[in-house]
Structure formats: structure tokens, C-alpha cells
Structure 1
Amino acid sequence: MDTITIVLLLAAIVTVSIVIIIFSQMRERARIERVRKITAQEDGYKRAHRLLSEIPGQYFTADLKLLLIKRMEEACAELTRLKADLPVSNWQESALELKTEIMEKRDARTPVKIDSPEKSTYVKELLQNLFKMVEAMHKSGRIDTATAKKNLKYVLFLVHKTHADLHVFQARDYVRQNEIRKAIHAYHLASTELGKSRDNPLAMKAVKSFRTRIKELEVMDTEGKDTANAESQSKLDREWDTFLHDDEWKKKADYDD
């Protein structure tokens, strides 16, 4: 072969090699991107499922439950499109069944007492994750502004309520121990927490109830009355036990205001 032929042959080999390398790199990038998308959607599904499973039942509204179901369904749809090697069909069936239960008001979730700082902190973290998820759904255009605003406002209120729950539990415990001044202080702390959600009618109703309870306890403390049955006799305590999962309370709230 002459020199020109050899040069052309070598150039062809180099060109083909470059094309093969570029094609391989493109395939690898596509594979990595697909894995990234699958991982992101799987994480999204599991995060929504975890929030739905672990946030105390009394904190949920049907709207919040359905938003989490919506996120789970979106993740499943994307995982199906990506042909992920995951039990997506089972996840879809489970989400659909749960969605039906919620819409038919058959999804009853057990209330959980917030009776320790650790539990309060954990629930607060769950609610903050829920806030971020709703916010992300709005930013990506998956829910409209009105829906996002309504639910974000409510979740923020729940964060404050988590702290109030702990203070109320402590206050009731102090009453049982006849430590009235400590109980009054705990109710003041609960009132301060819910006072941060001044635009929420439920929060303001609770603040008024706390103030009434504080006055009751101040009278007891001043007059030195026996408080053995004070907790069971308190109207506030009975209302607080069903504060969020009582339909009559919920009907009074308009979170769009």
C-alpha cells in the first residue's frame, strides 16, 4: 500500500474508534441518567409512603392524604415509563386502594400522643418533609397555587401544634401531680406556639381555650383547691383530645382565609 492509502486507513480507524467511544459514552450517560431518574422516583414514592404511614393520624386531612397519594401515583407512572425493575404494579394497586378508602372516608388512622420531646421532634421533622414535598409539587407545576397555599399553611400550623401537643401533655401531667404553677407555665407555652398561626381559626380557638384553662388553674392555685379530678373535669382537655380529628372542629376552619 502506498502512503496515502495507509494514512486514509489509519484516519478511518481513528474516526471509527472515536465514534465508538462517543457512542459508548452516550449510552453510559443515558444509562446513568435512567438510573438517576429511577432512584429519584423510587425515593419520591417511598418518602410519600413513609409520611403517609408515620405522621400521626390526627394531623391528616383528606386533602393532605390525597396529595401524598398523588405523589406516589406520579412516581409509579414515571417508573413504569422507565421500565424500572421494581414492584411498581403492586405499589400502584396499593395506592389506588388507599385512595379509594380516603375518598370513601374509610381510612381511619390512629391518633398518637405527643408525650416526649423526642416524639415531638420526630413528628416535626416528618411535617417539615411534608412541607417540602408540597412545595416541590407546586414548583414543578403538579399542583396549583391555591392548593399549595392552602396545604402549606395547614402543615405549618401542624408544626406549631406538635410543640403545643407536648406542652399540653406536660401541663396535664403537672396537674395530676398538683404542680399548678408548672401546669400554668406549660399551657402558656402551648398558647405561644399556636399563637404563631394567627391566621388559622383552629389555632385561635385553641389559644382562647388555653387562656380559659390558665384562669381555671390560677383560681385553683390561689384558693388551694384539690386538683385530683381537675384534668378529667376540664372541658379544654376533652376538646384537645379530638382537636384535629373531630369533624365539628374541622368544619369551623377555612384555610383559604
Structure 2
Amino acid sequence: MLYFKHSYAKPASFHAMTVHYLAIALILLLMLAGYLFLSHSIQKRRIRRQRLLTALKARRNSFRDLVDGFPKGFLTQDLTNLLYRSLIDICEQLTRLESKEPGHAEQLAFYTSQLSAQQNSENQAKVRLDNPEQVREARHLLQELYKFVQQQSQLKLINKIQTEAYTDQIKRLVLQMGVDNHLFNARQAQQIGKLRLAIHHYGLARKLLVNENGSHGFDKQIAQLDSVIAKLQEKAQSQTAKTATPETPTEHQPTPAPISTTSEPATSKEWDRFAEETDGWKKKQLYD
């Protein structure tokens, strides 16, 4: 009887071994879970780092295109300094992320020297664009610059006063391009003898200035345009009188009516359209 009971009793060592194996299995499971978690975290950081690098390089290229795209002296010194400071900040981040890439350090040194030279240079003569192709390209670049200023404002990297100042400077450049484009067309018309067309474009340039002359800052330019338009109208009347036929007395020739510029939108409306075209940036996250 005692032997029967003894044959069914489990030794204590069996329970100890079972607990030991369970403990090992639990440790292995925990180690596997830890490894998977760590591997996932590393992969996630790698992806995030790569995305940041891609975004930084894209921004660097975009700002570099802005700096190189505008003719030297076209942008105000404040806007140029803003672009250089942004490029320097981007190059510093790239240098930290890819310390073994010598190109980042070289670009950082280059843009730092460019900013220093820009700040120490005397006031440059303003460059005016008189080529339609240049105007179109500059308009596109100004859109990108406007979006950048708004992004900097949203990220609190520039304050409200700076944002308004930069926006006003961009707005003035848009006005300048519009006026210069009409002046270019007017001169082209004069060269081929189309005086009425020239008067028309001078009138459009004048209208743009008048619409933005609330502070009378463009009084001088408007007066100059008035003088040019008056001389061209007199010349156009003289030509009309010389070409009149005997059957059509010159005294009955109608006086050229003032050129209507109602078809030309006001600069403020042009600026509204310019700003509306950039509203898409608000719906996109361009920065990681």
C-alpha cells in the first residue's frame, strides 16, 4: 500500500524544473518583445530622420533657388537677409544630422560669409525688371517667398511686425513689376510708332501707382507719367492732323479720348489674387 502511494507521488525536482522552464520561456518572450520594440523604435527614428533630411534638403534647394533666381539688387536687404539666415539655419541642422558630409559645412560657411557681406555692403541700386520673361519668373519666386514668410509666421519664427514688414516689401515688389512691365510695353510700342498703344500702357502704369498712392509716395512718378502721356497725346494728334485728307478737315478730327484703364485691375486686387494663389500652403504641412 505504501509502495502504491509512493509510485504516484511527483518528486519535488519535477516542479522545480517546470517553474525553471516557465521562467526561461517568460524571459525569452520578454527579450523578444523588447527586441521587437527596440527594432521598431530604431526603424521609426530612421524613417523620421530620413524624412527630416529630405525636407531640409528640399527647403535648402528652394531657398537657394530664391537667392540665385532674383537679380542681385532686386530684393530688399531685409528679404535677402531673411533668406540667408534661413539657409544658414538649414545648413546647421544638416551638419548635425550628417556630420560626415563635408558639403553641408562648406555651404554653411559660404552662406554665412554671404550674409556678412550683404549686411556690410552699402545700399545697392535697385534693379528693375523690364523683360516679360524675367517678370514672370520673378512673380513665381515672389509667390514662394510670400509662402515662406507666412510659414515662418505660423511657426512663430518671426513676429507679427516682421511678418507685416516682409509682406509689405513683397507687395511693393509686385507693384514695381507690374508698373515696369507696362513701361516696357509702352517703350516697345513707341519704338514701332504705335503711340496710342504706348499711351495705353503708360496709362495702365499710372493707374497702378494711383491705386497705391494713399501716402503720396508715388506723386513724383505719377507726375512724370502725366507729362509723358500729355506729350504723346500731342504727338499723336499732330500725326493725325498730318494724315488727314482734304475731304476730312483737320478741325473735325476727334480729340483722342483719355485712355480707359478700367479693364486693368487695381494693384490691391492683383495682390489679393497673388495672395490667394498661395493659400494652398495652409493646407499642407511642409515642415516635419
Other structure's SS at 1:178 match: coil
Paired residues of 1:198 and 1:204 also in contact (CA < 8 A): yes
1:4 to partner: Cα distance: 6.1
Equivalent residue, structure 1, for 2:110 = 94
Equivalent residue, structure 2, for 1:105 = 121
Aligned counterparts of 1:204 and 1:110: Cα–Cα separation in 2: 19
Equivalent residue, structure 2, for 1:150 = 165
Equivalent residue, structure 2, for 1:254 = none
Shift in alpha-carbon separation, 1:147–1:223, aligned structure 2, 3 A: same
Aligned counterparts of 2:19 and 2:213: Cα–Cα separation in 1: 85
Equivalent residue, structure 2, for 1:164 = 179
Equivalent residue, structure 2, for 1:21 = 36
Aligned counterparts of 2:186 and 2:195: Cα–Cα separation in 1: 8
Aligned counterparts of 1:89 and 1:122: Cα–Cα separation in 2: 30
Unmatched runs of 5 consecutive residues or more in structure 1: 226-257
Further displaced range: 60-69 or 37-46: 37-46
Q: Percent identity?
A: 21
Shift in alpha-carbon separation, 1:170–1:19, aligned structure 2, 3 A: same
Unmatched runs of 5 consecutive residues or more in structure 2: 1-13, 241-288
1:197 to partner: Cα distance: 4.0
1:120 aligns with 2:135: yes
Aligned counterparts of 2:97 and 2:167: Cα–Cα separation in 1: 31
Shift in alpha-carbon separation, 1:110–1:35, aligned structure 2, 3 A: farther
Aligned counterparts of 2:38 and 2:220: Cα–Cα separation in 1: 65
Aligned counterparts of 1:207 and 1:38: Cα–Cα separation in 2: 50
TM-score (norm 2): 0.67
1:145 to partner: Cα distance: 2.0
Shift in alpha-carbon separation, 1:202–1:24, aligned structure 2, 3 A: farther
| Alignment RMSD (CA, Å) | 2.8
Q: How many pairs does the alignment contain?
A: 224
Aligned counterparts of 2:65 and 2:137: Cα–Cα separation in 1: 13
Other structure's SS at 1:87 match: helix
Q: Which aligned pairs between 1:127-206 and structure 2 lie closer than 5 A?
A: 127-195=142-210, 197-198=212-213, 205-206=220-221
Shift in alpha-carbon separation, 1:173–1:58, aligned structure 2, 3 A: farther
Shift in alpha-carbon separation, 1:134–1:91, aligned structure 2, 3 A: same
Shift in alpha-carbon separation, 1:204–1:30, aligned structure 2, 3 A: farther
TM-score (norm 1): 0.74
Aligned counterparts of 2:68 and 2:217: Cα–Cα separation in 1: 24
